[in-house]
Structures are given as C-alpha cells and as structure tokens.
C-alpha cells in the first residue's frame, strides 16, 4: 500500500490518438500522452488518473490500457501518483487478474463501481463481489470511481463507509452531483479518520460546496482545459472567499461548453490554444464535427479564463518541451455524429 494520497487535483486524462490511415481504429500517440502528463503536473496536479472515462477507456484494448498507464508512470517519474482503472469486463476473478496486471504500472488501480454488479443487482451483491476482489488482489492499493457508463451506480454513504473500513481503498472519484448526498458521504467518512480513503469530487458544479464540507480535491473533465483553475480553488477556497466564489461561478457556467462534444472538445481546445501539443480531435468513441462557430466558442472560453486568471492572480501554464522516446505526432480530424458522451 502507498502512503496517504495528496489533497488537490487529479485530472482525468485524455488519450491522444494518431491519424487513422485505414479503416482500423487510430493508434494511441504515446509521446503526446507523455507530454500531456508533464503539462498536468506542471499545472499543479497532485496525481494523474489515466485509463478513465475521459481516456475513452472502453475503446482501448487491454494492452493499450496497460501501456497508457506505463507511459504516464514513466512521464510522471515519481513526481505524482498515477491511477488507472482496472475492472472491466468478465467475472470478478478475471477483473482481479487485470487489476494485478495493472498494479505493475499504476500506483493505484481504480475499481469502476458500475462493473462489479449489474444495474438490477443489489448493494449486497456489490459488496460480496468487492469482498472477493479484495481477496484476489492482496497488497494492491485501490481506488473507486462512480463511472456513469455503462450505467451510473452511486455508492451509498453506508457502502462508502464499508469501503473505507476495509483499509484497501485510498481514493474515490465521486459523481453524486448533488449537494446533500455529497455532504452525507463526506460525513460518513469522518469517523473513519484512520482509513486511507480520501474523497475527491468529479463534478465541478458542486466543487466549492464539497471543499467546504471537507473533501480532499477534484478529479473531473474540465481539468483537461485549465487545471490551474481547480488547483487554485482547492488551495484558496477558504482563504479568499470572494475570489473563490468568482472562480467557482466561472467553472460552473463554462462546464456546459466543456461537455459539448467531449472529449473531442478538450482536444480541440488544447490544439488551438497551445499549438505545441499537436493534438487534434481524434476520438474512438465517435466522430465529431467542429464548425467555425464551435471553435470560436472554445476560443472565447480561453479568453474568459485568461481574463479571470489576470483578475484573481492565477498563472496559466503553457506546455513545455518534453522529451519522448519517439517522434509520433497527434493529428487527425473528426467528422460526423455529435451525440452526447457520458462524462463525469
């Protein structure tokens, strides 16, 4: 088991893809992934969550999931812990086998809450399967993610308390999205102060509320746009309340645009804001069409963010030069369906 997870921001990482040259799925651009990892860290992230929903994890092969974690771990170079999802298809035994494999490349292997029980199965069944998973993965530090796909299963405060009492979980990305439930879940953890489990909000709209209630940070999609904003809020929410309210208001309103055609929106935003990234909106989950109007909206989002940073005193972080082991570039264009992608 690793030590206590640091408080702060854990971006849910994008997966950059190469240009598709035939009908097959575009390959992962690992050098670009390494460069992204470095940028998140220099922006103030205290940990990196790869092989997440934002990473298009269900569209990655098992080997690609492992390689993404390995690439991020190498790029992090011990600066921050690396988390990666580990429970996908199959029986609990099969999931445990992959968790053990992933543990060689990630500091924390994240359990996808929705994949331990079907939608119509009870919380008791979930706990039984989780108990078995713990037995089959001795010594592995685990996390939890209330992933909204293939269906959205939330842990109850009692279930979360059970997970904390097990001593095996160090991190949770919560996607409750509702203040009263957030408060109840954080309150359920307070008596278990000896547990390593720390609570992180995956929903930016409720971030300030959760920080006031005692959460340990943030792990959500807009961390792929301007992670320094969330870093500042997590560090200053109780030091300058008026500025904190302004930052929260921006994050809340901007989220509607962030989630439009996500995760391609994040790739378009980064590409047109920071040309050094060489990342374009290639996605495996589906193709997206970005009209000039869509790109202009993202440009205006960047300008609004920069204006607020200047007012508050927050320093945006540009991508720096990052040495990679190959010279592949992230570039491709998407077109077509723009239906919703489940995010949180």
pLDDT tens for 45-78 read: 999 999 999 999 999 999 999 999 999 999 999 9
pLDDT digits (tens, 9 = 90+) for 30-45: 999 999 999 999 999 9
Contact 114, 141 (CB under 8 A): no
Q: Is residue 46 within 8 Å of 3, Cβ to Cβ? A: no
CA–CA separation, 326 and 330 (whole Å): 12
Predicted confidence at residue 328, as pLDDT, reads 37
Cα of 80 vs its chain's centroid, Å: 14
Per residue in 279-310, pLDDT (tens digit) is: 878 899 888 999 999 999 999 999 999 999 99
Q: Is the pLDDT of residue 181 over 60?
A: yes
Q: What is the pLDDT of residues 229-263, one digit of tens each?
A: 999 999 999 999 999 999 999 999 999 999 999 99
- Quote the tokens at residue 38: 């470095």
Q: How far apart are CA 130 and CA 153, in angstroms?
A: 14
Write down the pTM of the prediction: 0.92
Residues listed for the chain: 344
């Amino acid at each position: 088991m690793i030590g206590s997870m640091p408080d702060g921001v854990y971006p849910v990482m994008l997966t950059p893809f190469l240009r598709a040259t035939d009908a097959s799925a575009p390959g992962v651009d690992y050098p670009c992934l390494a460069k992204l990892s470095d940028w998140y860290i220099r922006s103030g992230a205290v940990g990196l969550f790869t092989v997440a929903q934002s990473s298009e994890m269900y569209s990655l092969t098992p080997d690609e999931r492992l390689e993404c974690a390995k690439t991020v771990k190498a790029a992090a170079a011990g600066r921050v812990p690396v988390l990666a999802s580990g429970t996908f298809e199959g029986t609990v035994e099969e999931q445990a086998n992959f968790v053990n494999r992933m543990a060689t490349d990630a500091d924390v292997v994240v359990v996808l809450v929705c994949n331990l029980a079907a939608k119509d199965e009870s919380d008791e069944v979930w706990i039984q399967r989780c108990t078995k998973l713990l037995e089959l993965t001795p010594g592995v530090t685990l996390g939890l993610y209330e992933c909204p796909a293939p269906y959205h299963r939330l842990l109850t405060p009692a279930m979360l308390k059970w997970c904390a009492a097990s001593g095996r979980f160090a991190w949770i990305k919560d996607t409750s999205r509702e203040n009263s439930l957030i408060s109840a879940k954080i309150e359920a953890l307070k008596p278990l102060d000896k547990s390593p489990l720390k609570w992180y909000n995956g929903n930016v709209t409720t971030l300030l509320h959760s920080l006031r209630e005692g959460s340990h940070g943030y792990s959500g999609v807009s961390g792929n746009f301007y992670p320094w904003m969330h870093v500042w809020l997590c560090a200053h929410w109780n030091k300058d309340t008026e500025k904190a309210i302004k930052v929260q208001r921006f994050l809340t309103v901007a989220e509607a645009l962030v989630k439009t055609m996500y995760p391609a929106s994040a790739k378009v935003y980064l590409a047109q804001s920071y040309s050094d990234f060489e990342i374009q909106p290639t996605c495996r989950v589906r193709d997206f069409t970005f009209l000039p109007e869509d790109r202009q909206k993202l440009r205006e989002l960047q300008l609004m963010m920069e204006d607020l940073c200047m007012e508050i005193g927050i320093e945006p972080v540009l991508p720096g030069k990052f040495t990679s082991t190959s010279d592949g570039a992230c570039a491709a264009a998407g077109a077509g369906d723009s239906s919703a992608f489940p995010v949180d």
